[in-house]
């Protein structure tokens, strides 16, 4: 349900606790894979190893913690997060969270180094989490695996008690054991394309289409038109040829019209037309002068002519 926001809205979905534990363990394993960490956008080219384990981060202040992180190659990622801070788009900027900050390193500490939580709270993008309370939302923000994790020594040792190993169950999570890899060789493409597997496969089945139940329009489908009318292809070629000849003839006529001889012929026609127009205007003027003279002498009666006198 999108809206309205009501108290009975289903904000959560039930998920088996074992699946949640498997997800946290998978996120931890992904953070030890350098390509996944780099693919998530972290700048970790100067980090010496993955997973990154530091003896202690019990520094007296935030400045000392920042210096320690820069020493172990996390400076580029921290600088990227600081530059990434920007205002939230939309009306959300007027609410509690005005700025958006990217996700930087996640420091996982144990009970012996709990002081690092206070030292790191003022570093932009740096989150902290106790090893006994690992959160999938922090290990894989936005559902993307491979967050840059920094472990303290005591927190890294405590992982065996939290999640257990392949040989013993977890101490904290009752009845939980880590997932075992089902495939001894993860190169599935190599297995499928091997000669041993390909020799046992049947040949590819091919189906022949006997008839097509879809009705085709011959006016828009050339293949169907050629099937119904064998002369259709020849007719199209003839029409195309005629159109091409017509275009060539039109271009030739236009070229001749714009040539020197064509312009000379046009000027000659214009002169002939102008002389005819001037003679015609002169004739009309002479006729009007005669009528004006007759009218002045009083001999001109409108509608009176020699033809009318003959009829009488």
Q: 41 and 109 share a domain?
A: yes
Q: Contact 106/150 with Cβ under 8 angstroms?
A: yes
311 within domain boundaries: no
Q: 157 and 46 share a domain?
A: yes
299 has pLDDT over 80: no
Q: Among 49-53, 212-216, 261-265, name the one with the lowest average pLDDT.
A: 212-216
Q: 78 and 147 share a domain?
A: yes
Q: 45 and 146 share a domain?
A: yes
Judged on CB neighbours under 10 Å (0-12, 13-18, 19+), 263 is exposed
Q: Contact 136/30 with Cβ under 8 angstroms?
A: no
Q: 30 and 116 share a domain?
A: yes
Q: 44 and 140 share a domain?
A: yes
- Overall domain count for the chain: 2
More confident residue, 75 or 185: 75
Domain final residue pick, 142, 164, 179 = 179
211 within domain boundaries: no
25 within domain boundaries: yes
187 within domain boundaries: no
How much is the pLDDT for 274? 93
Q: How confident is the model over 296-312, as a mean pLDDT? A: 64
Tokens describing residue 130: 């106790």
299 within domain boundaries: yes
- Among 217, 214, 218, 216, CA closest to 236: 218
Domain final residue pick, 162, 179, 196 = 179
- Residues 98-116: tens digit of each pLDDT: 999 999 999 999 999 888 9
Tokens describing residue 111: 């009970």
Which CATH number is 78's domain given? 3.40.1370.10
How much is the pLDDT for 295? 81
In 3-state terms the chain splits into helix, strand, coil percentages (rounded to 5) of: 50, 5, 45
- Residues 58-105: tens digit of each pLDDT: 888 999 999 999 999 999 999 999 998 999 998 888 888 899 999 999
Q: 249 and 110 share a domain?
A: no
224 has pLDDT over 70: yes
Domain final residue pick, 121, 145, 179 = 179
207 within domain boundaries: no
> 175 lies in which domain range?
17-87+99-179
Q: 163 and 231 share a domain?
A: no
- Residues 256-285: tens digit of each pLDDT: 989 998 899 999 999 999 999 999 999 999
3-state secondary structure 127-188: EEEEHHHCCHHHHCHHHCCCCCEEEEHHHHHHHHHHHCCCCCCCCCCCCCCCCCCCCCCCCH
Judged on CB neighbours under 10 Å (0-12, 13-18, 19+), 156 is middle
């Amino acid at each position: 349900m999108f809206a309205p926001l009501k108290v009975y809205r289903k904000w959560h979905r039930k998920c088996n606790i074992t699946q949640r534990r498997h997800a946290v363990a998978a996120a931890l394993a992904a953070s030890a894979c350098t390509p996944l960490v780099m693919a998530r956008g972290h700048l970790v080219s100067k980090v010496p190893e993955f997973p990154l384990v530091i003896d202690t981060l019990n520094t007296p202040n935030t400045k000392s913690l920042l210096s320690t992180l820069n020493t172990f190659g996390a400076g580029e990622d921290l600088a990227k997060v600081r530059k990434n801070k920007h205002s939230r788009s939309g009306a959300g900027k007027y609410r509690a969270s005005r700025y958006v900050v990217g996700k930087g390193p996640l420091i996982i500490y144990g009970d012996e180094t709990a002081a690092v939580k206070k030292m790191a709270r003022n570093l932009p993008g740096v989150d902290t989490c106790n090893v006994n309370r690992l959160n999938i939302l922090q290990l894989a923000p936005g559902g993307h695996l491979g967050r840059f994790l920094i472990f303290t020594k005591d927190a890294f040792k405590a992982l065996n008690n939290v999640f257990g190993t392949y040989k013993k169950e977890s101490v904290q999570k009752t009845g939980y054991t880590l997932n075992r890899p089902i495939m001894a060789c993860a190169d599935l493409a190599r297995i499928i394309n091997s000669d041993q597997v390909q020799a046992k496969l049947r040949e590819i089945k091919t189906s022949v289409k006997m008839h097509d139940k879809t009705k085709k329009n011959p006016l828009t489908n050339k293949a169907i038109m050629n099937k119904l009318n064998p002369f259709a292809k020849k007719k199209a070629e003839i029409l195309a040829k005629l159109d091409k000849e017509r275009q060539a003839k039109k271009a030739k006529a236009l070229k001749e019209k714009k040539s020197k001889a064509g312009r000379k012929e046009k000027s000659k026609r214009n002169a002939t037309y102008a002389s005819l127009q001037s003679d015609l205007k002169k004739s009309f003027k002479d006729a009007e002068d005669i009528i004006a003279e007759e009218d002045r002498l009083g001999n001109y009666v409108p509608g009176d002519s020699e033809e009318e006198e003959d009829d009488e």
